[in-house]
Amino acid sequence: MIPAHPHSWLIISVSFAAALAITLFPVPVLLAPLRPDWTTLVLIYWIIALPHRVGVGTGWVVGMFQDAATGTLLGQQALGMTVVAYLVLLLYQRIRNYPVWQQAIIVMIFVALFRVIGAWVLGVIGRPVGFSYWLPALTSMLVWPLVFLVLRHIRRRYHVV
């Protein structure tokens, strides 16, 4: 176990908070269903980059906060994030070596999986989802290169280890 590194944790927490803030930022009604899953993208990035530091537990905590912030059932998105975090932890060595566009496709699959779990929970509580529920998987794929480059810049600039 690597000793805690307060400076790294600060940067990582701030990046998650920023992602959550972007998620909450009001956009026109027509664009709202297209909103990418920013926090999931940030989570996937940090797991690929620092698998020894960010993992399933982080995913769960971030998911809980996102649930509380966006008013979904407490645990709905946390469950999805936990499962996605686990799979990314299994595959991070492979994903790391892919070019960015190929990572984007993998990311789309992860976000779709995250949404499948959410849809399952919503189905259990009797709220079936429509077509627009799945669109964020596509938009997340499109913004992944941006998220990746920005977070990599931040990681190198501030020596987050």
Shorter beta-carbon distance to other proteins: residue 86 or 133: 133
Give the one residue of 14, 32, 90, 161 binding other proteins; rule: CB under 8 A. Answer: 32
Q: Does 27 bind other proteins (CB under 8 A)?
A: yes
Q: Does 112 bind other proteins (CB under 8 A)?
A: no
Instruction: Annotate the chain with three-state secondary structure.
Output: CCCCCHHHHHHHHHHHHHHHHHHHCCCCCCCHHHCCCHHHHHHHHHHHHCCCCCCHHHHHHHHHHHHHHHCCCCCHHHHHHHHHHHHHHHHHHHHHHCCHHHHHHHHHHHHHHHHHHHHHHHHHCCCCCCHHHHHHHHHHHHHHHHHHHHHHHHHHHCCCC
Shorter beta-carbon distance to other proteins: residue 75 or 145: 75
Q: Does 105 bind other proteins (CB under 8 A)?
A: no
Interface with other proteins (CB under 8 A), residue total: 28
Q: Does 139 bind other proteins (CB under 8 A)?
A: no
Whether 37 and 68 have beta carbons less than 8 Å apart is answered as no
Q: Does 20 bind other proteins (CB under 8 A)?
A: yes
The CB-of-32 to other proteins minimum distance in angstroms stands at: 4
Which residues would be at the binding site for other proteins (CB under 8 A)?
17, 20-21, 23-27, 29, 32-33, 35, 64-65, 68-75, 125, 127, 129-130, 132-133
